[in-house]
């Protein structure tokens, strides 16, 4: 496919997808249009390789989404704050998932002393602050890819700290047990890892180990399981 044909191909692919979904279930889109009740708020990176619904094996309507460059969570960003408030207060999601990823261009840029240029330098300031706070640890990591993964993990931890201080999130945790999870998506393997940050701390559990309080988000091809200890595994159906 030539680059100039990309948008035309996307439109054709959309028509095929819509036809396929309607053939599977004639009521699919009418039900989707009747309203949304997502279980998860996903806060992630704008990277084209990290499409949240695809990663989770879920469907339209399952995940409320906010993505930006390098999945930075800033308390002064009104865009992020508005998404969090709407998802937590009005949609009453059960889980907030902040997801960083490997091969992150923002992480690589933050590790460099060179300017990116334009608005991006200002946007990456919080990530560069993370680098400065952990400079000794990061500089000790020889492998550049591993160093970028480590700052991506630290960036998720910093973002989780901001989320846990958010008034809407604090109220939802106290009133209805909202869970906040810090994760990292490995582009090279397709797997998402629970980093143990937030109030849903703990190692992954498989489905057999889940207790009665487990929350299951079901998709067409897989399901994502959240237990009291944190995010569980995605299991192919």
Q: List, in order of start, the domains of the chain with CATH numbers.
A: 22-201 (3.40.1050.10)
Digit-coded pLDDT (tens) for 151-195: 999 999 999 999 999 999 999 999 999 999 999 999 999 999 999
Q: Where are the beta strands (DSSP E) in the chain?
A: 40-45, 63-68, 95-101, 179-185, 192-194, 215-218, 222-227, 230-236
Please classify residue 99 by burial: count the beta carbons closer than 10 Å to its beta carbon, then call 0-12 exposed, 13-18 middle and 19+ buried: buried
129-138 average pLDDT score: 98
Digit-coded pLDDT (tens) for 63-105: 999 999 999 999 999 999 999 999 999 999 999 999 999 999 9
Query: Can you give the pLDDT at residue 217?
Result: 57
Residues 6+ apart with CB under 8 A from 150: 137, 138, 141
Query: Can you give the pLDDT at residue 25?
Result: 97
Active site residues: 45, 47, 49, 101, 104
Digit-coded pLDDT (tens) for 200-228: 865 444 333 333 444 555 554 445 555 54
Query: Can you give the pLDDT at residue 201?
Result: 65
Structure-token match 């095929």, residue found? 16
Assessment of whether the complete model's pTM goes beyond 0.75: yes
Query: Can you give the pLDDT at residue 200?
Result: 81
How many C-beta atoms lie closer than 10 Å to residue 145's C-beta? 12
**What does the alpha-carbon distance between residue 19 and residue 11 come to, in Å, rounded to a whole number?**
12
**What does the alpha-carbon distance between residue 194 and residue 157 come to, in Å, rounded to a whole number?**
11
Q: Write the CA distances from 128 to 98, 120, 138, 154, integer angstroms.
A: 19, 12, 12, 11
Query: Can you give the pLDDT at residue 233?
Result: 46
């Amino acid at each position: 496919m030539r680059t100039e044909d990309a948008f035309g191909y996307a439109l054709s692919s959309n028509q095929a997808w819509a036809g396929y979904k309607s053939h599977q279930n004639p009521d699919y889109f009418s039900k989707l249009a009747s309203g949304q009740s997502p279980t998860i708020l996903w806060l992630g990176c704008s990277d084209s390789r990290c499409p949240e619904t695809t990663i989770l094996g879920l469907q339209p309507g399952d995940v409320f989404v906010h993505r930006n460059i390098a999945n930075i969570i800033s308390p002064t960003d009104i865009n992020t704050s508005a998404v969090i408030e709407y998802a937590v207060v009005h949609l009453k999601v059960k889980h907030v998932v902040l997801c960083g990823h490997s091969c992150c261009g923002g992480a690589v840029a933050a590790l460099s002393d060179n300017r990116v240029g334009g608005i991006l330098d200002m946007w990456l300031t919080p990530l560069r602050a993370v680098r400065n706070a952990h400079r000794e640890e990061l500089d000790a990591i020889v492998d550049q890819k591993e160093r970028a993964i480590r700052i991506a993990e630290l960036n998720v931890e910093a973002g989780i700290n901001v989320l846990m201080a958010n008034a809407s999130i604090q109220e939802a945790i106290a009133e209805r047990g909202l869970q906040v999870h810090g994760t990292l998506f490995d582009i090279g393997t397709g797997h998402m890892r629970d980093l143990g940050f937030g109030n849903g701390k703990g190692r992954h559990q498989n489905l057999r180990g889940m207790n009665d309080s487990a929350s299951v988000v079901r998709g067409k091809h897989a399901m994502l399981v959240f237990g009291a200890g944190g995010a569980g595994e995605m299991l192919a159906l």
